[in-house]
Structure 1
Amino acid sequence: MDTAPRTVKANGITLAYRTWGPEDAPPVLLLHSRGTDGADWTPIAERLVSGVRPRRVYAPDLRGHGSSDWPGAGPDTYAYATMRDDIRAFLTALGIDHADVVGHSLGGAVAYLLAQQTPDLVRRLVLEDVPAPIPLDPPRPPAERPDGELPFDWAMIRATDEQRNAPDPVWWDQMGRITMPTLLIGGGSRSLIPQDQIAVLAELIPGARLVTIDAGHLVHETRPEEFLAVVEALLAE
């Protein structure tokens, strides 16, 4: 199985990505959380391609992460909407016009923005421990950069913190545009994400289902069997 990182030009930058599974299998896009990269999904991807219904899995590094471009600070450089546009262009560049999309945390926010803007592109949607776009109260204070090299652009941390403190109201207003079958997975009481916000998000998305797996924020890493069971059930519909 070829899982070496590849690159593609999308939305004016270079995105690195990994892929698994037969090229003619139904595509699944996995979007990672803040501070990680596409390799975070490796154990899940390996399971998705070896099941009864194998999938073609794609796991890009979001801009400012891993081996994708780190554009640095600038207006909208790390806007969630810019990351959404990256992923839409990524799928176009690879000739993918319909995919199941699974997003964790930051990747989940990018996924729901993609589903809002281009619902025909997303066949099924899974949002893992993703908060509703509700302003933080109190706001998250400015983070202090750790010493040494980082596997992500520090400008991305600052920009995404600002958006977490004050999300664009349009994100909330357009949740009703997400019309594909949608599953939300909450991490339960051990998660750093307020679970009542995930419940609110499930109510905003028409017909969405909410499953809680008491694993904390890293559901797919901590409880992979339970995570895969509910995800594969949705993808099989």
Structure 2
Amino acid sequence: MMRETTANGLKIVYREEGPADAPLMVLIHGRTANHNDWNGIIQHFARRYHVLAPDLRGHGESAYPGSYALPDMADDVAGLLDGRRAVIVAHSLGAMVAFHLAMRRPELVERLVLEDPGAPLPMTGRAALVRDDSTGFDWEMVLQTERQFVDPDPAWAEGLTRLAVPTLVLSGGPSSQIRAEPVAELIPGAALVTIDVGHLIHRDARAAFLEAVEEFLEA
């Protein structure tokens, strides 16, 4: 079921599935995607979780405010949670938003699953962005988040070293353009699982993705 709320002062649209009295889980999509990126995954987890899958600001049907700092995007998710504690499963840009949420509001995060996250370390060798006629997201969001990927605030990496939330990092392996391993190295006690299928693990190796996440959640 699609719903709409105001979180952190913005319109946030989200999909809601699963029993209302079940433990809460939030699925956060990657850059330029939306809640539909989790089709199939939502249904799997909704059997035993109350699942929320928002469109991040600048994506889908949520607000396009023109400002896309990663900490602000994390505050949007905190607003959606409204004080509730949740398991967070997140991909790519969404995984970076998720670890900002865990750093800023650790009391809201029960467990953290980061699928092929970019590390908050300077990125080199990034291909130049080419704006095209793609729709469904705000191009300003792409430009602003790219700048934060290339030149992140050094305090972000330091913040990860103090994170005390149980964390699983899933790496897409050498087939991915992203190196997720540094995130696992920064977070104390983080588990690292490599599934060498590239950046879209939950799409291209769904069974392996679900097996790794379920094993972590049941530990």
Shorter-chain TM-score: what band?
Answer: over 0.9
Aligned to 2:157: 172
Partner residue, 2:20: 23
Give the deviation of 1:8 after TM superposition: 0.3
Q: Does the Cα contact within 8 Å between 1:135 and 1:165 map onto a contact in 2?
A: yes
Identify which range, 127-136 or 23-32, moves more after superposition: 127-136
Match of 1:109 in 2: 96
My pick for the range that moved more, 166-175 or 132-141, is 132-141
Q: Aligned residue for 2:130?
A: 144
Matched, 1:184 2:166: no
Alpha-carbon distance in 1 for matches of 2:36, 2:186: 31
Equivalent residue in structure 1 for 2:113, among 126, 133, 139: 126
2:71 aligned to 81, 89, 93, which one? 81
Q: Which residue number in structure 2 is paired with residue 97 of structure 1?
A: 84
Q: CA deviation at 1:140?
A: 4.9
For the aligned residues, what is the CA RMSD?
1.3
In structure 1, what residue type is equivalent to 2:209?
A: F
Distance (whole Å) between structure 2 residues aligned to residue 211 and residue 8 of structure 1: 35
- In structure 1, stretches of 5+ residues that fail to align are none
The structure having more radius of gyration, on CA atoms, is 1
Report the Cα offset of residue 201 of structure 1: 1.4
| Percent identity between the two aligned chains | 45
Q: Which residue of 2 aligns with 1:225?
A: 207
Q: Using the alignment, how far apart are the partners of 1:140 and 1:174 within structure 2? A: 28
1:190 Cα deviation from its structure 2 partner: 1.1
Deviation at 1:134, TM superposition (A): 1.3
Distance in 2 separating the partners of 1:153 and 1:105: 17
Give yes or no for contact 1:98–1:121 (8 Å, CA) kept in 2. Answer: yes
For residues 123-177 of structure 1, the C-alpha deviation after alignment (integer angstroms, 9 at most, x for no partner) is: 1000000121111224553x23203x51100110110111111011111011123
CA distance in 2, matches of 1:223, 1:12: 37
Count of aligned pairs: 219
Instruction: Note if contact 1:119-1:177 (Cα within 8 Å) is conserved in structure 2.
Output: no
Q: What secondary structure does 2:63 align onto?
A: coil
Structure 1 residue runs of 4+, over 6 Å off? none
Deviation at 1:236, TM superposition (A): 2.1
Q: What is the TM-score normalised by the length of structure 1? A: 0.89
Please tell me whether the aligned partners of residues 140 and 165 of structure 1 are also in contact (alpha carbons under 8 angstroms): no
